[in-house]
Chain A
């Protein structure tokens, strides 16, 4: 039977950290994706340029390099900011830039770029006639977005969001490198201490595997629900 040499509770706690990290990063990336896609589709040229630079740069740099930049650089930035605030306004401002925050910020930023592309495509897939009709009925811009564009866009975005989520889940493993005690970190320490790498890494691999499998089922279910109103021709 599976014997985790007393590391079981720690691994479980690590798994919870992984899940928290994944869900928080997903939330950040969804928000950034919506903002980014709106910027890319707006008529404002500088806004479009900023969004394009954002997605290009993020997608060209490895996630772990970004993570290290934010983790090691983030604290430095916070420190100098708190110095400035103290000298100028005597405001006592400081916070610890821990691995968890850097993880959420970086993974959120990275997948925000991917979500931007997903949402952009999904927004474009909404029939313009729908938008024109809403405007003709006197819907305000915000109302058109909330009632007409957003619900229809979601159907097109769902497969892309699902793919991004699957990749995001696996990316969370990288945060162990900058020192977050997630399940990968616990397994690594346990494996080194007990000299039993297979013993600890294979259960962790299966946790990831079951997480991706469950997500796959959930996304399929969401997809069926989102497409309820669409006639399937086969």
Chain B
């Protein structure tokens, strides 16, 4: 097998060890960026979703505005506003924040995190408000406090209802992360663009990267299917 690979590498001048390494670094950047933004986005979205279900409009209103703005505009615009906008904040170039936000990674991370937080908030909220009234009444009848009800009854069941929609959001985020390359980040798409710019072989450069994305998507689909099976195992027919 290694012989075959080295033979194949010797025979073509596009997929050399150097370009494969470039793709690999792009893959690491993409996974890093997507994983971090999903993780932070989920952590932000959970309390926001709970607060969004609160009856008081002064609490749920601002969260609605946040999700509406971020879901109603293209992610590319959000990325541009954050990437170009941060540099324009008066005085930022003298503070230590500039060292962080000068790199494209952190503006991209911020944009992706806020975007996925907005979508995830709505997904979790939908799952929370779909809780059957009987479950809440039963929990109240047992004398559970609001906190305990949330923790033991509402959130675990909401997680089961949300996992399907959330898996779509994760895949959407993986695909959306490809636009990080427009703010000079060298993620998977960025690597493909660089390789295309050197070789002028669009089919090789982009189809290869498309296959990598396809593989990542399949892995995610597989993992989420396993997770769904695990979460919904009490609903499985007896003989299976």
Residues of chain A touching chain B, judged by Cβ–Cβ distance below 8 Å, are 57, 59-66, 68-69, 72-73, 76, 170-174, 176-177, 184, 187-188, 191-192, 195-198, 201-202, 204-205, 208-209, 212-213
Contact = CB atoms under 8 A, between A and B. Distances in A.
Nearest to A213: B72
A65 B206 contact: yes
Given A72-B202, A174-B179, A205-B77, A60 B213 contact: yes
B88 A62 contact: no
Contacts of B207: 69
Given A72-B206, A195-B88, A212-B72, A65 B213 contact: yes
Contact of B81 (A60, A68, A201): A201
Nearest to B207: A69
Contact of B210 (A69, A173, A177, A188): A69
A61 B175 CA distance: 7
Interface string B189-215: 100110010000011001101100110
A188 B75 CA distance: 14
A201 B80 contact: yes
Interface in B58-80: 68-69, 72-78, 80
Contacts of B74: 170-174, 184, 208
Contact of B202 (A73, A174, A184): A73
Q: DSSP class of A's interface residues: helix, strand, loop or mixed?
A: helix
Given A184-B74, A209-B69, A69 B85 contact: no
Given A65-B210, A208-B73, A213-B72, A177 B85 contact: no
18 contacts: A60-B213, A60-B218, A62-B177, A65-B189, A65-B206, A65-B210, A66-B210, A72-B202, A72-B206, A171-B74, A172-B74, A173-B77, A192-B84, A197-B81, A197-B84, A197-B88, A201-B84, A204-B77
B178 interface: yes
Given A62-B176, A62-B189, A212-B72, A201 B206 contact: no
Q: Top 8 closest A-B pairs, CB basis?
A: A72-B202, A197-B84, A173-B74, A62-B178, A62-B175, A60-B217, A60-B214, A69-B206
Among B177, B178, B181, B192, residue most surrounded by chain A Cβ atoms (within 10 Å): B178
B73 A174 contact: no
A201 B209 CA distance: 30
